[in-house]
Structure 1
Amino acid sequence: MTFPLVRAARLPRDLPLDAFAAAAGLHPDLVARLVALGLVEVTTGPTGAPGFPVAELATVARIRRLHDDLTLNYAAVGVVLDLLDRIDELEDRLARSRPVR
């Protein structure tokens, strides 16, 4: 399974739903479902329209890998993402607590 690579420097800070879904290789309805499940963050622009931070494309790639390759359902994907974030936080904290040699 391959996932699209996106050059963030060429994209605006926030993307509308259709552009985000196209860049992520997903149907807009699935993106809306991921938002409803709390897996993808959405912002509200000055006009009140939803916008998707370009950085969330990396999150979608992680979600797709976990869902497609490990066949996890989206509830399990949320748990795994939370655990991976917690591991990163603990590793950072451990690295900062070690004395410099």
Structure 2
Amino acid sequence: MTFPLVRAARLPDELTLPDFAAAAGLHPELVARLVTLGLVEVTTFPDGAPGFAVRELATVARIRRLHDDLTLNYAAVGVVLDLLDRIDELEDRLARRA
């Protein structure tokens, strides 16, 4: 399986739901589901519409790899993402001590 690459430098800092979904290569309803599951962070535009930071595209790419390539369900994906974040945090602490 391949995943689309996105050139973040060409994108605005915040994306609307349709633009984010298109950049991530997902249907907007799946993006909304990922938000509901707490896997993707959402912000709000001044008009109340949902907005997404460009950095969340990297999160979606990780989610897709875990779900599609390792066939993890979304609950398991959430656990793995939490563990990966914790590992990054601990590695940062170790690097600062060295």
Moved over 6 A (4+): none
Post-superposition CA distance 1:34-73 (Å, at most 9, x none) = 0000000110011111101111000000000000010000
| AA of the residue aligned to 1:19 | D
Per the alignment, residue 4 of structure 1 pairs with 4
CA RMSD of aligned residues (A): 0.6
Matched, 1:73 2:76: no
- Give the Cα separation in 1 of the matches to 2:74 and 2:93: 29
| AA of the residue aligned to 1:53 | A
- Structure 1: where are the runs of 5+ without partners? none
Q: Secondary structure at the match of 1:60?
A: helix
Q: TM-score, normalised by structure 1?
A: 0.95
- After TM superposition, the structure 1 = structure 2 runs for residues 1-101 of structure 1, keeping only pairs within 5 Å, are 1-98=1-98
Identical-pair percentage: 87
Q: Secondary structure at the match of 1:3?
A: coil
| AA of the residue aligned to 2:85 | D
Q: TM-score, normalised by structure 2?
A: 0.97
- Give the Cα separation in 2 of the matches to 1:34 and 1:18: 14
- Structure 2: where are the runs of 5+ without partners? none
| AA of the residue aligned to 1:92 | D
- Give the Cα separation in 2 of the matches to 1:46 and 1:9: 23
Please tell me whether Structure 1 or Structure 2 has the larger radius of gyration of its CA atoms. Answer: 1
| AA of the residue aligned to 2:65 | R
